[in-house]
Structure 1
Amino acid sequence: MNRSTSLAALAASASLIGSASLAENPIDTQLPSAPELAAYGEMPVGVRQLEMVNADQINILAIDPAAPKPEELPRYDRPLTVEMWYPAAAGASGDTTLKAFLRDGTTEVTLTGRAVRDAAPAQSDTAYPLVLISHGYPGNRFLLSHLAENIASKGYVVASIDHTDSTYRTQAAFGSTLVNRSLDQLFVLEEMAQMAAEGGDFAGLYDAGNTGLIGYSMGGYGAIITAGGGVTEASVGYPWGGPHGTLGIHLAGSDTHNALPDARIKTAVAFGPWGMNTGFWNAEGLAGVQIPMMFIAGSQDDVSLYENGVRAIWDNASNVDRALLTYVNGGHNSGAPMPAPKESFYFNESKGFDISEHYTDPVWDSARMNNIAQHFVTAWLDSHLKGDADKAAYLELTEDSNAGVWSMNEDGTAKEDHSYWKGFAKGTAKGLKYEVKKAAQ
């Protein structure tokens, strides 16, 4: 074989290897610049699909908003599919792929990660915290799979919900999402609690009485309601919202909303939470939030907005300790969505946009955004659900990451003027802000 033939063969081989790698659509990418707590934990991970039915719910889709309000609202049994990631027994091996539909609602793709399908759960003397994940509108239970798998490897059980009428394949009237999002979250919490208590594979594995909630966009909207934030009277009456005042169950100050928060949920993380930009929240309603919250947003969010959107929500949740992590110049997809699958890079005529735009950001690299989110969510959950005091230092930061000073002694210890963001290697904490507010006294 001559030199030119050898080079051609090597090039072809590299091309095949590269194509095979691209075809995997990995959700577990760890960049060299990833901050410390983004790293996977020591536990193997399992993943399992669960089917749940929330009986006797108001059937929002069966209500004609143009017709007179019926004496009795139609009801139905509401199905919900949940993907559960959990610490697995040592030596778990098997299928590590996930089948998920794209934003177009028709293309099914294969994602790859580290979680083994239906692996036996770990045996532990201490129950792990439970974390619920709630996607956007539309979305699906795999949209934040990078985060679900990552934190499961660190000793969490994660239940990610497919919200009926709000997934890529079931997207329907927006009123169903407005009314049902928080109800779905609380129903899945109760189902998970019963599953842990009833025996079987997952008996004692997790403690539903020590639960965190993560929501993205409309999932963040639902998380605010679940945390105690009540919506405005104006939003209850929107003609494009919940028909015939059905959103009134979440009205700030109403008996139904006052009874909604569940003491088992100890904290929440909201990525780009929606609603302030359209009048669903005000200071009075947001003052009802009862648990510590972390908000994560892009400063150029054009869906939920930033100054008059996510930042305003953070500012007005006045009765709890809360934090705001900002990806400077990031958009609505900052931190939450998994990297865009290769099959999503095409212009969809019926949708009117390139499907990959649902996952990507014009400025930030998706894997880097994910790694940063994994780092901060780990620090936040470990602090609030595991009582890990050491993680507090990762959340005590100079507000502007660009202003942090790297100043270290030769032995690796920090000098007095060292203010670089903890957990970030020299030169890697760029383009971020982290701000905190304490509960009003």
Structure 2
Amino acid sequence: MKHVALALMLATPAVAQENPIDRIRPDAPELAPYGEHTVGVRTMTFTRPDVVDVVNSTEEGNMTRYDREITVEVFYPAAEGTEAGGTYTAYLRDGETQATLTGRAARDAAPAEGSFPLVLISHGYPGNRFLMAHLAENLASKGYVTASIDHPDSTYSDIGAFGSTLYNRPQDQSFVLDQMASLGGDLGGIVDASRTGLVGYSMGGYGALIFSGAGLEEGGWPERYTPPGNLLSELRVGADRLAEIHDDRLAATVAIGPWGRNRGFWSQEGLSNIDVPLMIVAGSQDDVSGYDAIRTIFDETTGTTRHLLTYQGANHNAAAPMPAPQEAWGDPAVFGHYADAVWDTTRMNNILQHFVTAFMDLHLKDDQSKAEYLDLVETADDGTYAMEDGQPTEDHTYWKGFPERSAKALRFETKEPQ
């Protein structure tokens, strides 16, 4: 019988793995579920011309240049009547295995009528434009155009010198904002880049802080990280290039597990120059960017109102990565790139979707009703749930939008500008 069972298994065609990125748990907070819009998606390529090729340049002064092609997955509200649902083919962390992800976006659908704020999404090192597709789809369903960037030299299938990421990350973000703002055709007609949001994870968070105004600390960088030719000096406090990429259209920044303060890339002088509303998201056990260093960023960004959302017990994968695809489950190292030892990934994603929705609605759409979702008892476990006939009583201090008993192991802090 064992031989028969084995023969049947070998004769059965391989079944494609199901890897949904769009799941909303029953206990998800109020703003996590998808919005009213069906979502469309298109893949686009933009070219940054004549930039320094960090990977192939040398300290001896041989600074080569090239045209830097950047692939962007653009998610957007789709035209009425569009049938929801589609797939994405994405490389996993090993740079070789491909997985099919399932979501709600319809490939190349016609866009909806109207005008929608822009949100840029920037992955870590390494990563790719699909790593936070759960958030990109979710925001698009709520009336945003989201542009999720593949950063060359920094994707799973294209890992180059780390110095390229350090130099190019904020400049890629700035360039894609420009490209989306000047986009033509039917899709360009719905993009409102006048108030743009930015979500960056890990090295995406590093770039997001620089793009938001945090010039680097001169000369404080470990040598093994830095690109040749003293290129990072272009991003230091007071540098001309930093001033060139400063953009008044950037109106809200979310930095998830931002890397760099733990390696001396900023001082308070640089971080205090950020004047864009800022939300920082982190795991209290982050051992990549360093939770204490992330808290220092929170303390030192004194030029703006900022929030710090902490997932107690989570590590560096807090909130940002999609759930680990089934193809990743056979390799602990690949699986560990997406998962957390303590938290369920879908739950972390849903909480992030909730808070990013409130934050972007407030600052990009001027929806003042969302401010109360960010005015919370600092430690979620200290909140009192006291509802009567579906309405909060005067004793109710539970986190707004969270079902009873669901706001656990979370902390939300706010600091005003000094």
Q: Tell whether the structures are fold-level matches, with TM greater than 0.5.
A: yes
Counterpart position of 1:185: 173
- Once the two structures are superposed, the pairs formed by residues 115-154 of structure 1 within 5 Å of their partners are 115-124=105-114, 127-154=115-142
d(CA) in 2 for partners of 1:406, 1:34 = 16
Counterpart position of 1:261: 246
d(CA) in 2 for partners of 1:119, 1:92 = 7
Equivalent of 1:430 in 398, 401, 408: 408
2:54 aligned with 1:60, yes or no? yes
Indicate the RMSD between aligned Cα atoms, in angstroms: 1.5
Q: Is 1:237–1:245's contact at 8 Å kept on the other side of the alignment?
A: no
Q: Is 1:228–1:261's contact at 8 Å kept on the other side of the alignment?
A: yes
d(CA) in 1 for partners of 2:393, 2:19 = 42
Structure 1 stretches of at least 4 aligned residues deviating more than 6 Å after TM superposition: none
2:269 aligned with 1:284, yes or no? yes
2:236 aligned with 1:251, yes or no? yes
Counterpart position of 1:69: 61
d(CA) in 1 for partners of 2:187, 2:318 = 33
The number of residues matched between the two structures is: 406
Counterpart position of 2:6: none
Shift of 1:236: 5.2
- Once the two structures are superposed, the pairs formed by residues 111-260 of structure 1 within 5 Å of their partners are 111-124=101-114, 127-195=115-183, 198=184, 200-235=185-220, 238-260=223-245
Deviations 1:295-346 (A, max 9, x none): 0000000100101x21111110110000000000111000000000000012
TM-score by length of 1: 0.90
d(CA) in 1 for partners of 2:97, 2:147 = 24
Deviations 1:183-204 (A, max 9, x none): 1001111111111xx3x21243
2:80 aligned with 1:90, yes or no? yes
Deviations 1:95-126 (A, max 9, x none): 600110000000111000100011110012xx
Counterpart position of 2:335: 356
Shift of 1:282: 1.1
Identity of aligned residues (%): 52
Q: Is 2:221–2:263's contact at 8 Å kept on the other side of the alignment?
A: no
Deviates more, 1:238-247 or 1:219-228: 238-247
Equivalent of 2:349 in 326, 347, 370: 370
2:22 aligned with 1:34, yes or no? no
Q: Is 1:291–1:320's contact at 8 Å kept on the other side of the alignment?
A: yes
TM-score by length of 2: 0.95
Q: Is 2:85–2:104's contact at 8 Å kept on the other side of the alignment?
A: no
d(CA) in 2 for partners of 1:414, 1:80 = 49
Give the 3-state SS of the residue equivalent to 2:407 in structure 1. coil
